[in-house]
Amino acid sequence: QTVVTQEPSFSVSPGGTVTLTCGLTSGSVSTNNYATWYQQTPGQAPRTLIYTTNSRSSGVPDRFSGSILGNKAALTITGAQADDESDYYCVMSLGSGIWVFGGGTRLTVL
Amino acid sequence: QMQLVESGGGVVQPGTSLRLSCAASGVGFSIYAMHWVRQAPGKGLEWVAVISYNGRNKNIADSVKGRFSVSRDNSKNTLYLEMKSLRRDDTAVYYCAKTGGDDWSNPPGGWGQGTLVTVSS
């Protein structure tokens, strides 16, 4: 069974740059996995940041960007701000209408 | 901009059934595929189900296959999740989410606020 992997936690300094990754235990991530990234703060519904690898959702600042780095999908945050401190989730398509979320990354800005 | 409002959650006993609804307001419900996603207390997001714009293609996560089913009524702008034989580990906030396209290859995009299902005796 394919698992989607994410770093459990990460920290970044204010103003710094951080790259979170999303991998597949079954192999390399491609654009056909339609990797999508979400931000979630406690008690709130998820907010879509990046969809299908690298398309920024409406209203999302351009300091959030998506890509494929090596064999993983990646979310890069440049110029980190205090309110970026959140949980970040990725989801990927395994084909045939099957989707799997990663376990999430808790980002700390300090 | 389409708004989504989930309903139907509550406290239920193990082994019972429940139907969740997701009512869409605004334009376009009938042209978009839709997802259900859940989140157990203190845990991460878990994909549950997807359904195409016309309901002909659908899929369910292995963890709930055989117990949960997804459907939609485009005449009522409503998405459903039928849940049977509920277990304690089905306790979660259930979100519906619209996609940006018509088939199941589109990821969850716009989210409702969720409805809490608690399975407890």
Identify the pLDDT of residue B42.
96
Residue with tokens 């064999």: A71
pLDDT mean by block of 10 residues, chain B; 121 residues: 95 98 93 98 98 97 98 97 98 97 95 98 95
Residue B85 is given by DSSP the state S
CA distance A37 to A51: 6
Lookup result for tokens 């519904």: A45
A56 pLDDT more than 90: yes
| Rounded Cα gap, residues B96 and B113, in angstroms | 8
| B42 contact partners, CB below 8 Å, separation of at least 6 | none
Q: Which of A58, A96, A99, A101 should be substituted to probe chain B, the one whose Cβ sees the most B Cβ atoms within 10 Å?
A: A99
Distances in whole angstroms, Cα of residue A37 to Cα of each of A87, B69, B70, B110 = 11, 26, 24, 12
**Scanning the structure block, which residue is given the tokens 């809490």?**
B116
Is B101 at the interface with chain A, CB within 8 A? no
Q: Are B45 and B39 in contact (CB under 8 A)?
A: yes
- pLDDT number for residue B27: 83
Question: Is the per-residue pLDDT at A30 higher than 90?
Answer: yes
pLDDT of residue B26: 83
| B3-7 sheet: strands from edge to edge | B3-7, B18-25, B78-83, B68-73
Whether A14 and chain B come into contact, CB under 8 Å, resolves to no
**Which whole number is the average pLDDT over A30-54?**
97
Contact A19, A78 (CB under 8 A): no
pLDDT of residue A5: 98
pLDDT (mean) for A57-83: 97
Average pLDDT, integer, range A48-71: 97
Residues of chain A with pLDDT > 90, as a percent, come to 99
**CA of B58 vs chain A CAs: smallest distance (Å):** 7
Q: Which residues of B touch A96 (CB under 8 A)?
A: 59
**Predicted pLDDT at B1:** 81
Q: Does the distance separating the beta carbons of A99 and B47 come in below 8 Å?
A: yes
Hey, of B3, B37, B60, which one would you mutate to test binding to chain A, going by the most A CBs within 10 A of its CB?
B37
Helix (H, G, I), strand (E, B), or coil: what is residue B51?
strand
Report the pLDDT value the prediction gives residue A22, as an integer from 0 to 100: 98
Q: CB of A54 within 8 Å of any CB in chain B?
A: no
What CA–CA distance (Å, rounded) separates B120 from B117? 10
Question: Among positive and negative, which fits the CA dihedral B45, A83, B116, B26?
Answer: negative
Is the Cβ–Cβ distance between A39 and A47 less than 8 Å? yes
Q: What is the pLDDT of residue A55?
A: 97
Q: Cα B71 from chain centroid?
A: 9
